[in-house]
Amino acid sequence: MSESAVGSSVQAVGRAILDNVERVIFGKPEVVERTLVALLARGHVLLEDVPGVGKTMLARALAISLGCSFRRIQFTPDLLPADVTGTSVFNQKTGEFQFRPGPVFANVLLADEINRTSPRTQSSLLEAMEEGQVTVDGTTHALPKPFLVISTENPIEYEGVYPLPESQLDRFLMRLHLGYPEREDEKAVILAQVEQHPIESIEAVVTAEEILAACRAVTQVHVEDAVHEYILDLVRKSREAEHVYLGASPRASLGLAKCAQALAALRGRDFVVPDDVKELAPAVLAHRIILEPEARLENVDAAEVVRRILDETPIRE
């Protein structure tokens, strides 16, 4: 594929998916686009929001649109790692152990309320998210491609939950928030479900092969050295900013560059512009920044720190 065809080819695939998902998720085009950016950049998404705003529907609608398999894991305190990855079962007829895949073997995995399960079970997703494989009883099993984890957590519940450690938060390419819909969008949701849920009427609009081809095309999007330097400026300032105890990692630099490539391609371009980086930085960086305790007393959160960094960091020419 020639460089000039990269942007248009990815844009066509992306537009078909976005239009289809937006038949189910009303008034949230930015969140839907960000989720697709994560998929094309081969990353994963943490959806942090209150119950009932459409997190599960977003994951289901995306999986259907991709023509891919979808599985959901409801994380609970008693869930075990084997309930996620699978386990070996003894077959009495053959006298051998056979691997029985867990729900992680899906193209789109919804890890619902991931902070309700133990750290041991949370960590069972790490290898899957980072390497696209799981190891059970010493044997490595490859996961299907494409592979996207969408994890959810409720930000206002603190009892009976296990906050994700920094090492696991860093594995998520982006943290997104759906938020409550606008009044007219909420009315549209009500009217759309008078007879049946809109998700029952949507079908696949692309294939898994087309998505994988789009992922490969995204890597061909050109990034000027000045844009790379701008990304490094932002990430390095996140480690030095006021109120910051721990800044974004080198994985964040790489993730921000890949996301910018995916966003540029979705918008029909063969090159990244600084505004792509600026637009995605809060979703990519904020959850990777750990603040000092004093920040809470001053009502400063990580998103505010990223906004300040963006305002104070000039775009390189």
Same domain, 178 and 227: no
Same domain, 167 and 253: no
Same domain, 27 and 77: yes
Domain final position from 220, 253, 274: 220
| DSSP string for 134-147 | EEETTEEEEPPSS-
Domain count, the chain: 2
| DSSP string for 164-201 | PPHHHHTT-SEEE---PPPHHHHHHHHHHTSSS-GGGG
> Which CATH number do you get for residue 266?
1.10.8.80
Same domain, 182 and 293: no
Does the structure show a pLDDT above 90 at 218? yes
Same domain, 188 and 262: no
Q: What is the mean pLDDT of residues 146-153?
A: 93
Same domain, 28 and 130: yes
| Token code pair at residue 152 | 């959810």
Q: How far apart are CA 67 and CA 107, in angstroms?
A: 9
Same domain, 233 and 213: no
Same domain, 21 and 114: yes
Does the structure show a pLDDT above 70 at 1? no
Same domain, 268 and 252: yes
> Which CATH number do you get for residue 148?
3.40.50.300
Domain final position from 220, 245, 262: 220
- pLDDT class of 2 with cuts at 50, 70, 90: very low
Residues shown for the chain:
317
Cβ neighbour number for residue 316 with a 10 Å cutoff: 15
Same domain, 37 and 80: yes
Domain final position from 188, 220, 252: 220
Q: Note down the domain range covering 316.
A: 221-317
- The pTM (predicted TM-score) of the whole model is 0.90
Same domain, 90 and 43: yes
Q: What is the mean pLDDT of residues 129-135?
A: 89
- pLDDT class of 280 with cuts at 50, 70, 90: very high
Q: What is the mean pLDDT of residues 132-155?
A: 90
Same domain, 232 and 181: no
- pLDDT class of 4 with cuts at 50, 70, 90: low
